[in-house]
A and B are shown apart, each in its own frame.
Chain A
């Protein structure tokens, strides 16, 4: 009987040649089963931890009344809530209103309008955007801010999806 055989005596020597005996085979089987169980367990675990988004959360807001025109002097801006998204309204010195998603395209911070700079600015990494177009003009942001549509009806300022 070869050294690699478990020595149970129930097998012929020829089955023990080549180094694979019953013990090694069983170890292999245990390994394969453990791996399979691991994979099988990972699937429900992933689904359990994956965030479930309810229908109510999926409901998207189409428009928001931000306030009256007199609330926004020329050359100012205001952050507001647009559904589940932070948004920003700017009233540029040319008298036009503009609105954007306030999520910085760099690393997701919430941007703000800086009166002193007359620009949209992100406090996290110093990225700057144009207050009228939302275009990224300096700093690390790679893309412009997502635009929203502004409607002024009478004295009321309404922001809706572009």
Chain B
């Protein structure tokens, strides 16, 4: 019947007239993704977005029962884990999802780095990505305290002490975050607000800019691929080819998350006691472990300066050099290009070695 085929067209025409989305669809259809040996790294950003969506949905669900109050925070998480139907499931999705998202973001960061995708005209895409990663680590740090268990308490104590080492503003910054001299109700309230309101707003705004830049510039081509003659370059259409692959990868990623949740449900430690000693074997989450281990190795004094201050300064320096790579490796100097690659390998190797040492120490 002809009416059956006309109706959707009419509906589409009606929608297009009101939304003016046709250029966007046209753009998606025209957009192409380079096909080469490293094309699979292009999926990392999309997987991170999937985990972000999981975080938003499960985060909202957890807020239904979580109580950001010193007397009730730990008990409310225990209740979610043990008394609420599927509470353990949504909390585990949130905790495992956060860890997987950070892991995928590290893959995203280093694949972008080693493929030199930060070079002109993508400097701002790179910088917004770095700030987004910092925001996500901020989510991890603030969210870690909310269950108010002993490990999270001391992790926050260390984190805030490190932030107090920032020259000039450090003490005021730590006071603002802590809400006083000691970690207590004020800290919990502030971390809760930062975790569920301030960071999500910042993340959404910046993610919008990041995605807009990615769309405007298209997929970056690695230097080897760029040098190929036009006849040897292969591309696939973003829509529908790459998009359907993306969906398949999302399903696989979600399956990994579901398996972890089912096999290793996220637990909770004993309630924090601000006057008890730090528990033996205390360690931060794996993504802060390399920094934690590095600070263990730094001697108490380096010349006239306190070792911890120098250590924090060194970590910040490495981060800054990494963040500013588009401005010192512009692609016009082979020596600098090799230096950037060597620097990236050194940072990645140091992170892996320190994380492994930290895990087994």
Contacts and interface: CB of A to CB of B under 8 A. Distances in A.
A, B co-complexed: yes
Interface of A: 49-51, 53, 57, 79-81, 84, 86, 88, 102, 106-112, 122-127, 136, 139-142
A79 B175 CA distance: 25
8 contacts: A50-B175, A53-B180, A107-B157, A107-B158, A108-B157, A125-B292, A126-B296, A140-B295
B157 A84 contact: no
A140 B307 contact: yes
Contact of A110 (B160, B276, B299, B306): B276
Interface residues of B, number: 34
Interface string B174-213: 0110111110001000000000000000000000000000
Most buried by B among A49, A80, A106, A124: A124
Contacts of B274: 86
Interface in B157-182: 157-158, 160-162, 172, 175-176, 178-182
B150 to A, nearest CB: 10
B308 interface: yes
A136 B300 contact: yes
B281 interface: yes
Contact of A107 (B161, B277, B279): B161
A53 B181 contact: yes
A107 B308 contact: yes
Contact of A84 (B181, B186, B276, B299): B181
A138 to B, nearest CB: 9
A126 B275 CA distance: 19
A51 B162 contact: no
B280 A140 contact: no
A50 B161 CA distance: 17
B154 A140 contact: no
B300 A140 contact: yes
B316 interface: no
User: 9 nearest interchain CB pairs?
Assistant: A112-B277, A108-B161, A123-B278, A107-B161, A109-B278, A142-B306, A142-B300, A51-B180, A81-B275
